[in-house]
Amino acid sequence: MRLFVAVYPPPAAVDDLTERVARLRVAAATAAGINVRLADPANAHLTLAFLGEVAEDRLTEVTSTLGLAAETFRAGRDSSPRLRLGGGGRFGRGRFTVLWVDLRGDVAELSTLARLIRIGLRRGRLPHDEKPFRPHLTIARPGDRLDPADVAADQAALDGYLGPEWPAAELVLVRSHQGPHPTYDRLAAWPL
Whether the CB-CB separation of 84 and 162 falls below 8 Å is answered with: yes
> How many C-beta atoms lie closer than 10 Å to residue 181's C-beta?
8
- Torsion angle defined by CA atoms of residues 43, 48, 52 and 55, in that order, rounded to the nearest 10 degrees: -100
Tell me how far the alpha carbon of residue 137 is from its chain's centroid: 4
- Torsion angle defined by CA atoms of residues 27, 32, 35 and 40, in that order, rounded to the nearest 10 degrees: 40
Whether the CB-CB separation of 75 and 24 falls below 8 Å is answered with: no
What is the spatial distance between Cα 113 and Cα 75, in angstroms, rounded to a whole number?
12
Which residue in the list 128, 136, 177, 181 is annotated as catalytic?
A: 136
3-state secondary structure of 164: coil
45 catalytic residue (yes or no)? yes
Which residue in the list 45, 128, 177, 181 is annotated as catalytic?
A: 45
181 catalytic residue (yes or no)? no
Q: What is the torsional sign of CA 128, 130, 134, 139? A: negative
Q: Which residues are catalytic?
A: 45, 136
